[in-house]
Structure 1
């Protein structure tokens, strides 16, 4: 099963045009964010990835082309410029697709249609870390037999929650999780989802396609109650770097 990782956006809340790196390449615990995300899937045997590129996509290409010799010891034979990597444990494929600088998510997904080969596929963003079980997500998707399964997570307030009685605070809870479920960004899709997408660069997957799927009773939810964190701002990046990596590598 292939996995599409959306990584073409500008990530304006991370710095946008003034940032030297696209969001997927920002460092989390000395590794790029996108490599952490790929490793989530590798644990479950998913090793064929499609990256729809846009903003600074050339840097993402260069990162993966040079990745093995940068993170491993190696031998270089100068005569023929051959590199022999030692202890290489990265085994996966990536299809790089240029989907345009200002394209929306629905259009980027639609451009991957031919590579999916009429099969179910996984889909996620390049800014979310989680200890989600991809096997459980896939099993839920097959059991519910809907076109799209979205992972739902409980929203965490960015502010402290006050319980107030007679103008007095009776309790204070820091960043409490609410009962509201939000899009956690890990999807499993049937090939039929492409019938809900258009070839317009303005097609936003999270807008009309998902709304139409919900209206047609073709959008199921897998409720993940474990660790989940979206790295959307510099503060999010600082917060995740202060956490233990084991939280999303379990």
Structure 2
């Protein structure tokens, strides 16, 4: 099975650190974060890895080479300019074949079951499956509830809960026809366009 990992970002929020080392190679414990991601994908059966690189691509390629040391096959595709999170996948369409694949950001650490997510995507005949995670936000003030300009109640510092996009997807090749060529396009754009076209998006 195939996985596309987006590893081309500059990591500007990391400041001087990422000016020397590309963000995907920053260590977590004894290994770079990207190595941990590749190993976890491999352990779930994703052994054909496409690394979409950009910033300091040569350092990433020198570290992983062809992937043989991790018992995977790695192919590289380098962006000429930042393209968002969906357009880079379109750029490697010719490498993907006719089966669904996983795509994810190259800075995500997760213990999720990639194989189970992939199988669910197949079982539901989805065009796109989006991994989600829960997120809570505690409002630091009392929240006023109004009706007809009359205060009905006040909730003191309520905790709001949301489901948010985790940045991991299973994509069927048919969904790629939405992504424009050589144009900045994010996965959120792909999600919304599929929904607007009444095409099947699952979580």
Superposed pair shares fold, TM > 0.5:
yes
Specify the alignment match of 1:150 in structure 2.
Answer: 130
Matched, 1:96 2:76: yes
How well do the aligned residues superpose, as a CA RMSD in angstroms? 2.8
Change in 2 beyond 3 A, CA 1:67/1:92: closer
* Cα separation, 2, equivalents of 1:125 and 1:214: 22
* Cα separation, 1, equivalents of 2:123 and 2:196: 20
Please tell me whether the aligned partners of residues 101 and 172 of structure 2 are also in contact (alpha carbons under 8 angstroms): yes
TM-score normalized with structure 2 length: 0.83
Unmatched segments (≥5 aa) in structure 2: 144-155
* Cα separation, 2, equivalents of 1:94 and 1:66: 5
Residue 172 of structure 1: how far off its partner (Å): 9.1
* Cα separation, 2, equivalents of 1:146 and 1:42: 23
* Cα separation, 2, equivalents of 1:59 and 1:179: 40
Residue 204 of structure 1: how far off its partner (Å): 2.5
Matched, 1:215 2:187: no
Change in 2 beyond 3 A, CA 1:59/1:134: same
Specify the alignment match of 2:38 in structure 1.
Answer: 38
**SS class of match (1:104):** coil
* Cα separation, 1, equivalents of 2:72 and 2:67: 12
* Cα separation, 2, equivalents of 1:147 and 1:141: 8
Q: Which runs of 4+ in 1 moved over 6 A?
A: none
TM-score normalized with structure 1 length: 0.68
Unmatched segments (≥5 aa) in structure 1: 69-87, 166-170, 223-250
Residue 154 of structure 1: how far off its partner (Å): 0.6
Specify the alignment match of 2:163 in structure 1.
Answer: 181
Specify the alignment match of 1:28 in structure 2.
Answer: 28
